[in-house]
Amino acid sequence: MGKSKINAAFKGVLDKGDKAFVPYIMAGDGGLENLKEQILFLEKSGATVVELGIPFSDPVADGPVIQEAGLRSLANGTTLEGVLESLLDWKEERQIPIVLMTYFNLIFSYGIERFAKRCEEVGVDGLIIPDLPFEEDEMVAPIFSKYELALIHLVAPTSPRNRIEQIAKKTEGFLYAVTVKGTTGVRNEYEEGLASYLEQLKEYSSVPVLAGFGVSSPEKVRELGEYCDGVIVGSKIVELLFKGEREEITNIIVASKKSTIQS
């Protein structure tokens, strides 16, 4: 299914006037044996797509909460192949699209084509590779396309306008709009010009624009949802999942729905 599954998931949400919600979780945080339950909980709670992080020893884009989750996962013995095998075991039981967030070294070490083929087999629909420069994406793009995997690009507010436009036109599935300078993590305030930045991205992009990095509460979900197609919430979801505070996760997801935004 791949790209088409992601596209259909977003269309189903946006056509209703709702905003998309993509939670990020770290695979293996709490043990890989709990991954199925975690993802199915997020699906049932109304998530649009799940962004699934693969633990890595040098996570350059991740803030402290996600770094700690990655260390817990590595301590549990989580491997890339272990995550893929887990996803295969219950592939038929989930409807929600799965996007892997992983660093390029893991894909390169696995073998790019072998990795893409394996992703198709286990029901992965797209990839986010934060340390792969946009100019180098041809290393993976043709192979991912062969296996119908969406290659999702990130764009930053510090990027020059022509670069932003190029990335927005080439991304697949959705455009990941980084809202802050720096790594992931909870923020209380956003920088000036964020609204115009997100609205500009919507002009350039033919796929949904989702805001990520620093989104941490129902209020932030509603605030950012005014200017784009949805949000990605990582650190806060990871933290709440680790603490077992499931109701608060559901409340954040519900905030992306039309009825809540209008109230």
Tell me: pLDDT of 5 over 90: yes
Which pLDDT score is estimated for 188? 44
**Which position among 18, 62, 229, 239 bears the catalytic label?**
62
* 51 flagged as catalytic: yes
Domains and their CATH numbers in the chain: 3-262 (3.20.20.70)
Q: What percent of the chain has pLDDT over 90?
A: 76
* Set 18, 51, 125, 239: catalytic member: 51
Cα angle, residue 135 at apex, residues 132 and 137 outer, rounded to 5°? 55
The per-residue pLDDT for 184 is: 46
Average pLDDT of the segment spanning 117-144 = 96
Which stretches of the chain are assigned E, i.e. beta strand?
A: 20-26, 50-53, 98-101, 126-128, 150-152, 154-155, 175-178, 209-212, 230-233
Where is pLDDT greater, at 140 or 185? 140
Q: Which residues pair with 128 in a beta bridge?
A: 101, 152
DSSP 217: S
pLDDT tens track for 220-230: 888 888 999 99
pTM of the model: 0.92
State residue 191's pLDDT score.
Answer: 55
pLDDT for 64 equals 85
Inform me whether the pLDDT recorded for 208 exceeds 70. Answer: yes
